[in-house]
Structure 1
Amino acid sequence: MGPSLLYTKISLAGSWRVSLSGQCDKIQRPMCNSASRLTIQCRLMAPEEPKNWDPDLSRLWLGFSNLTGVNFQGSGVIDGSGSKWWAASCKRNRTNPCKGAPTALTIDSSSCIRVKGLTIQNSQQMHFVISHSDSVRVSNILISAPGDSPNTDGIHISASTNVTLLNCKIGKGDDCVSIVNASSSVKMKKIYCGPGHGIRLEFSTTA
């Protein structure tokens, strides 16, 4: 098993190719002429202990922002090691305080993004958030967590446009897909959901 990754906020500029492979202890960034790529062919493990988390990054594990034309690909696994976070949830035990928890993978304020082939599992809370982004295509990914894991939404789309979800298998403890905050032009095909609460649409209206 490779080393645990505590929290990572990455901004890629220009044309980069990032490869995570083997024991996940090497990151290679050679220049290339095609679209930027981030290839994961290993298991990325988050630390298990909530107390080890930076309070300034309490809602983030792997976060990418301000990207254009980046392909996330590979057969790797992003594992949030969420069991201790779930045990501390107020939904599991009402005597616990209600707190937010990290999202396994976040793509924010980006455009022309492709995500293909990855597995995201056991997130501390939401598995995959697409926020304030345009032209995002997600295909052939697997999202998995126990059916009783609290607040573990599969794919959460917020304030984003032109998002396509294709051939995704999602099974966890909350919404398989949630679409909120004025998102538009979201297309879904061959979404396999279960266990989970299905697809949630949340619209705001003005008088």
Structure 2
Amino acid sequence: MKLFLLLPFICCYSIADAQCRSGVSSGTFNVLHYGARANGFSDDSKVFMAAWKAACAASGNVKLHIPRGKYLVGPVKFDGPCRNVHSITVYMQGYLKASTDLSKYVEGDDWIQFGHVDKLTLTGGGTFDGQGAVSWPFNKCPRKKNCRVLPTSIKFLATADTVVRRVKSLNSKFFHVAVVGCKRFHGSNIRIHAPSNSPNTDGIHIERSSDVTICNSVIATGDDCISIGQGNVHVRISRITCGPGHGISVGSLGRYRDEGDVRGLVVRDSTISGTTNGIRIKTWQNSPGSSSATNMTFKNISMKGVANPIIIDQMYCPYVLCPSQAPSRVKISDIFFRDIRGTSATPVAVTLKCSRGAPCRNVNLHNVHLRYTGGAAATAECWNVKARYSGIQMPAPCH
């Protein structure tokens, strides 16, 4: 990398700076001072890791600064624990570009990972560009159950008290953001974009996490805007603009044995436009284990030309051939749809397709007003559920 040509007089402003500044008290660690080229084509991964290592070894309140410029990086793991750090802020103003060479990603690796770090803040208005278009043709997951999963752009793994605000994610190879095994995660003013035909580019995926808040964000992608996977407790989603994509989904659940329950979800005050689904709960048929999804509220949501505005699908299987029709064993109960309005792009605006092996319990619809854009009256379809209705009901309730 010939850093001595760039910074000939400053011995500590090199990759070795991670060692010579180890143990430094609170301060700012600028990736440019570690030799980052910021030209968009030289690999700055080692420089980023050196700056992170120094920041993580410091004490007090520290900042990792990524100034404006284009940086080719990845995969990189910003892992802790940072034992003497009280809080760490990654202030990212730059434009990060992911390597398009899939051989650099060991199977299971993601692009940018923040792992086992407490009191982390990611902010600054910068952009994560996954450069996923080159990789999307290699994604076989929409057609094969057993497939190689491409890298997620930004993964938070086993973090606590995390704040993410004012960042952008473009064209991820797989998920844009994954929140896995985290406690007290708050995300706001996040902008996510990928084309509508990009496969498995979920905007934000949440799994095995508790006390998660996502708000004031705009998500346009090729899959779920937000997906709430297994093992989540107390997730709050509000003021989301979603579309295109597959809507806001719980699941899919029940694919694996010993999945955790999902409980305490609130989705409210949001707009969903031009998506294939609106608010959806989906569980696999023939689920190998038994779990539950309970205590969920979807409130004050506007639908604009959504194909399936309200849908529970316990016969989910996205493949052409699904060998078993055994009923889902995921138990769905205490579900509330309140003040859902707008337009459906298909005649069936409400679908409650529950499992014959574990029928849905206590499903409630209050003030649902959905018109079919085709002109005829919208309809509803129900299986294995006795829903409760109150207030306005358009389409008419099904029994």
Q: TM-score, normalised by structure 1?
A: 0.84
Q: What one-letter code is carried by the residue in structure 2 that aligns with 1:153?
A: D
1:23-172 → structure 2 map (5 Å cutoff):
23=69, 35-50=87-102, 52-56=103-107, 58-90=108-140, 98-172=147-221
Contact 1:5 1:47 in 2 (8 A): no
Equivalent residue number for residue 9 of structure 2: none
Equivalent residue number for residue 40 of structure 2: 2
Equivalent residue number for residue 63 of structure 2: 17
- Structure 2 stretches of 5 or more lacking a match? 1-38, 72-84, 254-260, 262-290, 293-328, 330-399
Distance 2:119 2:88 in 1: 6
Distance 2:44 2:130 in 1: 10
1:178 corresponds to which of 213, 216, 227? 227
- Report deviation, 1:23: 2.8
Distance 2:45 2:174 in 1: 15
Cα deviation, 1:37-73, whole Å, max 9, x if unaligned, reads 10110100011232x42325x4411001111111100
- Report deviation, 1:115: 0.2
Distance 2:147 2:134 in 1: 14
Distance 1:98 1:6 in 2: 28
Equivalent residue number for residue 29 of structure 1: none
1:191 is the counterpart of 2:229: no
Q: What one-letter code is carried by the residue in structure 2 that aligns with 1:77?
A: T
Contact 1:20 1:42 in 2 (8 A): yes
Cα deviation, 1:88-145, whole Å, max 9, x if unaligned, reads 22268x69x9321000000111111000000011001000000101111000010100
Distance 1:69 1:24 in 2: 27
SS at match of 1:68: coil
Q: What one-letter code is carried by the residue in structure 2 that aligns with 1:61?
A: W
SS at match of 1:83: helix
> By percentage of residues, which structure has more strand?
2
Distance of aligned partners of 1:83 and 1:20 in 2 relative to their CA distance in 1, 3 Å threshold = same
State the identity as a percent. Answer: 29
Cα deviation, 1:175-195, whole Å, max 9, x if unaligned, reads 111111210111111111101
SS at match of 2:135: helix
Distance 1:67 1:34 in 2: 10
Contact 1:49 1:84 in 2 (8 A): no
Distance 2:141 2:207 in 1: 23
- Structure 1 stretches of 5 or more lacking a match? 26-32
Q: How many residues align?
A: 197
Distance of aligned partners of 1:185 and 1:17 in 2 relative to their CA distance in 1, 3 Å threshold = same
- Report deviation, 1:2: 2.6
Equivalent residue number for residue 27 of structure 2: none
Distance of aligned partners of 1:193 and 1:5 in 2 relative to their CA distance in 1, 3 Å threshold = farther
**How large is the Cα RMSD of the aligned pairs?**
2.8
